[in-house]
Chains A and B, each alone.
Chain A
């Protein structure tokens, strides 16, 4: 890793973390039956014009967020995870995610997420997303395009599918 890059350990507390300040002391519940975590990896590029039908639920946010002409689901993994335990999800290009479900509070699931490329951690974050919701991480290059990683979570009591999960619910 470049020393300079390493020195730029960004703490985004002043911006992104501001809303979390009031919730710092919130008590997270950890239902016995764990949480279902889904990692969908999409290759977005400007090579061709194709929108993978499996990504239909993500069409709206993708259209609003990205300028690419082609979106292809290249990997999808779903696991039921216990709370407070880290698990690794392999991603294309020698990358992987380390996910730790932290708990649920007011229908929001808290996840620890670390994205590692090779031996280098790119981001290490704690995020809270709506139960059955999806959070996107994008930017790592792969092939002719970039990877967009959709991280979804839902508690096991939830009967509804992930809002924008792809494939079978």
Chain B
């Protein structure tokens, strides 16, 4: 991707509105292009400025009297318990005719008969197949990283591989894994 292609996409990229392929392309381009990286940084500054300005405006609004004005109106609109009960009954009143319960009773009796007549099933045997051993073995075929350092660690029992990102920009991450945590930097 060239600068010319990337430039019009930067605001959309910043807002996370690009589709995945373009998102990836712009992200990769921005790591290599100082001008586009700078443009993205300006967008960040602009967003921060707008946010802080809006936050300051919101802080200035006096909302202390709002609830005092709303609460009395709400209280006057709360229906009585009896009215709420009637409303509930109207909403949930059964719509079936008297034949419904009779039909239900016959159905339940038939079901019970079936259950009683059924031969007793054998006690289920435990699963003969043991649970599969977890194997999360994986490998990295290629990797590029812009963080300060990364570590690759594998947990022996399940072969689970962990790619640990240690990024000073996001703050150092404390860990206590011993030598296995040594950076691959």
Task: Kindly supply a per-residue 1/0 record for chain A positions 74-115, scoring 1 wherever the CB is within 8 Å of any chain B CB and 0 otherwise.
Answer: 000000000001111010000010111000000000100011
Q: Are B152 and A16 touching (Cβ within 8 A)?
A: yes
Q: Which of B71-79, B93-101, B112-120, B161-169 participates in binding chain A?
A: B161-169
- Tell yes or no: B184 within 8 A of A by CB: yes
- List the one stretch of B51-59, B61-69, B80-88, B139-147 in contact with chain A: B139-147
Interface size class of A (residues with CB under 8 A): 35 or more
- Min CB distance A158 to B, Å, is 11
Number of A-B contacts (CB under 8 A): 218
A163 at the interface (CB under 8 A from B): yes
Evaluate contact between A61 and B139: CB separation under 8 angstroms.
no
B29 to chain A, nearest CB (A): 10
Q: Give chain B's interface residue range (CB within 8 Å of chain A).
A: 35 or more
B24's partner among A60, A86, A126 (CB-CB below 8 A) is: A86
Q: Is the CB of A122 within 8 A of B165?
A: yes
Tell me whether A13 is interfacial, beta carbon within 8 Å: yes
Can you report 28 A-B residue pairs in the complex whose CB atoms are below 8 A from each other? A3-B34, A5-B167, A12-B143, A12-B152, A12-B184, A19-B139, A60-B158, A61-B155, A65-B155, A98-B20, A100-B20, A116-B23, A119-B14, A120-B31, A120-B146, A121-B27, A123-B145, A125-B142, A125-B144, A127-B139, A130-B136, A130-B137, A133-B137, A138-B164, A139-B166, A141-B170, A160-B132, A163-B135
